[in-house]
Structure 1
Amino acid sequence: LEPFADDAAFREQFAAVKAANKRELHTVLHARDGFEIADDHLLDVMVKRLHEYKRQMLKLLHVVTQYEGVVSGRIAASSLQPRTVIFGAKAAPGYAMAKRIIHLINAVGAVVNTDQRLDGRLRVVFPPNYNVTLAERVIPAADLSEQISLAGKEASGTGNMKFALNGALTIGTDDGANVEIRELVGDENFFLFGMSEPEVEALSARGYRPSDVYQADAGLRRAIDLIASGAFSRGDRSVFEPVVSNLLYEDRFMVLADYAAYISTQERVDAAYADREGWTRSAILNVARTGFFSSDRSIRDYIDRIWHTPPV
């Protein structure tokens, strides 16, 4: 498959399949939940169990940063790369902070999706009850796979493999199976950001103070202040105060420490997606080079290394 990445006709066909997958996802989500998925939007997907170490809050801070930039007048809506962000997650029944984050994601979406100042160029979608059936539609349609856990916290993960095999480029930390994906697809076809595991350990040993990061970064400060102001809770500042306080005074998984690197790397994503031919080429190479993760290869290894029996 890899040689076809340089074949313009094949790239056109590949892009057409991705667009068709987006239209199919739109049909499903619109009928089910009333959500819109636009063909020309970068489809940015983060679907996984809701846990603080997986850092859905980092993704949400990127959304809020873009939104705040437009509504404050500092950037024009027309300068935004059209993007639809899909979150899919469930939280453990007793995990209060995870449930608050789900509430905040939905609250941000309710505001962002109806604010005319954005001209429809940024959308947030959180389909309820994300499951395997919906994953079968979401994963083939995705352009960008969010694998942004704090380095050293993800044992492996397989969702990132599914996305890469289906032609989504990964933005991720040097964590879990991201390491193997990046080695296979090449640095130029992977958006790496954030601290390494030794850097995380060193920061922790020095004494991490998230409030210092907040004070030092104007963009981060504006995003958190907007959440704290009640902009996404009908003016009630108390609703998301526990989330804000957690970020400023605890932040166990160093969301704020990796914020600047993440925002900068998302700007690289926007620039790369603007070159659709180049993006499609990278997507094809992701598919071509991640066959190592296929179940066929895995079973073959079991046969050769463990079972020592001929395949049936």
Structure 2
Amino acid sequence: MLVPLVLTAVLTACGSGSSGGAKSSENSGGGPPKGGWPQPVNGQLTPQMCGLLTDADYAKYGHTRLPVISQKRLDNAPNAIDCLYTTSDELDIGLQPTAEAAKTQYAAGLKDHKERLTEDSRPTVLATNVVQGADESWFDYWTLGTANSQFKEYEISVRRGSLVVGIVLSGLKGKNEKDPRTVLTGLAGLVLQRIPNVGRTDTGKTHKAEFAVAGAGRAKQIVFNDPTSGAVTTLKNVKLPWHVEKPLINYGQAQIMLNLTAVSGTPMAAIGCNISVDGKTVVQEDPKIGGFANCSQPFTPPK
């Protein structure tokens, strides 16, 4: 989700239409546009799919969606679009090649959300499993918004199969607007209904990164970073040889730093390391006497 606009800029946009000459939603009615609700083209999400939610959909819940700022395909992400409107109403849709990859993406997003809640000591109304027809969903305050603002934004994240949908609701409420949870669960449900088959079938594979340490005896310590979240894992007193496989999900990063270090439990013992992606070696250090091995290499994730 994108950082909210400054309120003064918001008020200016309200009067002028939107920045950059963008126009308001083409479909302001409640029904589907001519030709039906937009669907992926050759398996790829398109900016036209921003039209899956209309001004009328928001109005049904008492919320006024202001003019569009941008509707675009994210070039640095494998298959995702972002639809941003004045005052930070936003719709994100992403499609991973597998449900496993989307599940990892969804989990990483929820983990990041919880960490930001803790780091900033923010209030929370976190609720899970709030959208019917989804495999997973959560609702809460939008933690990229301003914590103490009187205009509190909310967000929802939904996963169905390999599809992940995120919606941000701006804090500028209509006079008769329904509660944020009702608004967001209703809007998310509409998206799922309007693309009923998207995400239900895997279209590719989940990329895997394997971390391996070669040697005999035990490693006093092994440290590696998760290729998706970047989280560092430290293992103690590990039997050698050792390896672990982790999903590698492309969220739009230009590069991912792959790191693995190992310290032998026996001083000066021969120890080595290897990191591979989808079975192809990215970086390797052959076993050598010294009791220490280090494999580190920037990697361009596959799209």
Fold similarity call, TM over 0.5: no
Q: Which has the higher contact order (CA 8 A, sep 6+)?
A: 1
TM-score by length of structure 1 reads 0.28
* Larger helix percent: 1
Which is higher, the Rg of structure 1 or of structure 2?
2
How does the TM-score come out when normalised to structure 2?
0.28
More strand by share: 2
